[in-house]
Structure 1
């Protein structure tokens, strides 16, 4: 055990997880690569949990941060903040939400917490609909709507949460149905649920579940849900903390795969937009955003330095069509990984879109989750020079692959080859 690891254990909570039997300290990064304190170089396929969205040490972002730090780092929302206004203007337009208002936070947890505050205040109800296997953060309110038991440490809650079918396509009672029948069954389940509830405030859903193992419903499910929700006056919150900014390749926002009758009532974002800086936020139409009847501020949300980084990062992403790169290179990578998986009896499914790919492992010949195999592949990949993540609603048996959106074809081929060796070594 390293000295830093011992010091970590002495001052950190036991529930603060670390990857690997021998945890590593990352000291610097460049592009799609990072280095640890022992000088080992890794191809980064997890980006600080989908947060290093464009590249490590992206010159445009580091320059913007340095220049802003030389002027003023912090002021709070009590003062006019030009970078914050400029970023809000761009996000309002990109969101697709009419007459949009934007509130910045410091994380996805805080963004979702704010969305719940808005929805419950607007609808005067503490009842929330959420998806099974979902994850929305670690605050008291977001834990209470998280449908993934491994990430929900308490049953106590300020909200009454009711869980809906549909977030996981290939498990559960509707798995054997066609996509069309799956959507009909989930809509019928929602209709039945609403017939037994009083006045739900909102449905919150990730278009593609992140911590849950990169699962997603058939395209169009949330559009079908929206028709039902609108009849009952229930708001739709799209949690885009992991799916936003073009990561899925086909769309800029995950909700656009389910467009139907338009954008969500509330959209939350975080992670990748700051490329490592602490940025989150909420977008909602003015009527919903302005429903609070008390004062509020944010001390750190929308700070000049994080907004400068986000503006530079967003500009780079749009100018270099990183959404298109996620579609092209991600499509190549998922096909390579499916070829790799065909040779491994431990792989139950390879799924995803763009540069958001999950490899679910199960005990060969069964549907039984195999978290030990996932942990072994994680270790073997690291030994081969590749960092990946893991998750899933069935005992963290899903390998999570989400590299920076600048990933090259050569790096996709390299990562797939390392994963092939890791699966072979672990299996």
Structure 2
């Protein structure tokens, strides 16, 4: 999800806004040589952050070091993936021990770590009679969920939220509502777009939360009234990740589910970024909308592996058993990745990192909201736990803030349909002292950008 050095610090594709100095060369030396080699052998759309892209070569706790030896406080965790800590000893040990026994077998053979991890996830999911299928990424997990839902319902019609992001594959691009991340209009699916993912912008922004939920639900009912035939499923991120950490009022997806249930339509919750306690208040994002019961299918990835390549889908056995043809996964459920993920999940639960995300994240959000009051470049601070979005006046301001933060020793992310939101998602073991340090660095970066911009004319 990182962006090209030609589109500095933006979670947006070619053609988006550019920041000052974006065409400057990174200088000379090993990093410049590596960048030239990177450009020569990888597609132009494979993106990099920063005017002078960096190579991260070491990590420990909540810090990382680049190839030139500079240390950074990591507030992005490899796109919300380093969930517990860099170089977590328990994960390192589990991976090394499993690799010393056997690295790969495939799903054609029994695997103790895969079964143990599936048992844990089925229990934690909140879905009754659950089964689990492992993949290697969130994109592939959402692909699998779409396959299961469309097969079960015998329909290729999918409901999706505007401003959403669900992956880079052909099918998941077709249900991605953030146009900055949708390079083609071709799709094997017919997607029906509904309101609800963005609370602060759009035709319903001025409504109260209750009125917003009512209006979005009426919009859903209206779309279903116009749909031809059967609709397979609604897929939704409880908090939109690439969309800039936007979220609906609590209870919206529950209101949606009551409508879906009347029509027999499935609910897929995309928990690739919101899962495993990152929001602090809940283990899964869907639990903020739990009044109508659990989802039918849940997709996960990223943080579970703490950097290991793992994803998956969990759902009711009736749905998970619904494929009539042969299917395997060569790398999904790998002994090494599932052993590491088990150790990571055990650490997360044993140390109540969800509770830490709630406490430390609340402290961090409060600090940033207080500071934002004196920063005209900031228009909104939102989020839950350690999933925080800071929306700025425009994409240029966000790109420059990303650069300034990096210069000060802080790594953050960027998102939003217009590239105008900063994404803050550090490992869930973040301490209060580190949260305070990161807040101070980010505020300094924002102040630099604010002070350098011409005053707004009245």
Aligned to 2:427: 404
**Does residue 1:111 correspond to 2:141, yes or no?**
yes
Aligned to 2:18: none
Aligned to 1:416: 439
Q: CA shift at 1:199, angstroms?
A: 1.0
**Does residue 1:391 correspond to 2:415, yes or no?**
yes
The superposition leaves residues 339-368 of structure 1 with CA deviations (integer Å, 9 ceiling, x where unpaired) of 111111011100000000000001xxxxxx
Q: How does 1:21-36 map to 2 (within 5 A)?
A: 21-36=51-66
Q: How does 1:56-135 map to 2 (within 5 A)?
A: 56-135=86-165
Q: C-alpha separation between the residues in 2 aligned to 1:80 and 1:419?
A: 48
Q: C-alpha separation between the residues in 2 aligned to 1:25 and 1:107?
A: 22
Which of 185, 191, 196 is 1:155 aligned to? 185
Aligned to 1:179: 209
Q: C-alpha separation between the residues in 2 aligned to 1:261 and 1:156?
A: 34
Q: CA shift at 1:262, angstroms?
A: 1.2
Give 3-state SS (helix, strand or coil) of 1:259's partner. helix
Gaps of 5+ in 2: 1-25, 27-31, 451-458
Q: CA shift at 1:261, angstroms?
A: 2.2
The superposition leaves residues 312-348 of structure 1 with CA deviations (integer Å, 9 ceiling, x where unpaired) of 0000000000000000000000000101111110111
Q: CA shift at 1:293, angstroms?
A: 0.5
| Contact 2:65/2:71, CA 8 A, preserved across alignment | yes
**Does residue 1:382 correspond to 2:406, yes or no?**
yes
Aligned to 1:235: 266
Q: CA shift at 1:295, angstroms?
A: 0.7
Q: C-alpha separation between the residues in 2 aligned to 1:106 and 1:314?
A: 17
Q: C-alpha separation between the residues in 2 aligned to 1:130 and 1:332?
A: 33
Which of 210, 232, 242 is 1:211 aligned to? 242
Give 3-state SS (helix, strand or coil) of 1:351's partner. strand
Aligned to 1:304: 335
Q: C-alpha separation between the residues in 1 aligned to 2:355 and 2:446?
A: 29
| Contact 1:143/1:151, CA 8 A, preserved across alignment | yes
Aligned to 1:325: 356
Backbone CA RMSD of aligned residues: 0.5
Which of 128, 147, 167 is 1:137 aligned to? 167
Gaps of 5+ in 1: 363-369
| Contact 1:340/1:416, CA 8 A, preserved across alignment | no
Q: C-alpha separation between the residues in 1 aligned to 2:425 and 2:353?
A: 13
Q: How many residues align?
A: 419
Q: C-alpha separation between the residues in 2 aligned to 1:341 and 1:59?
A: 37
Runs of 4+ in 1 over 2 A off after TM superposition: none
Aligned to 1:372: 396
| Contact 2:255/2:292, CA 8 A, preserved across alignment | no
| Contact 2:73/2:438, CA 8 A, preserved across alignment | yes
Q: How does 1:337-352 map to 2 (within 5 A)?
A: 337-352=368-383
Using the size of structure 1 for normalisation, the TM-score is 0.98
Give 3-state SS (helix, strand or coil) of 1:338's partner. helix
Q: CA shift at 1:120, angstroms?
A: 0.2
Using the size of structure 2 for normalisation, the TM-score is 0.91
Q: CA shift at 1:296, angstroms?
A: 0.3
The superposition leaves residues 193-228 of structure 1 with CA deviations (integer Å, 9 ceiling, x where unpaired) of 100112110000000000000000000000000000
Aligned to 1:365: none
Give 3-state SS (helix, strand or coil) of 2:291's partner. coil
Q: How does 1:247-326 map to 2 (within 5 A)?
A: 247-326=278-357
Q: C-alpha separation between the residues in 1 aligned to 2:342 and 2:82?
A: 15
Q: CA shift at 1:104, angstroms?
A: 0.1
Give 3-state SS (helix, strand or coil) of 1:134's partner. coil
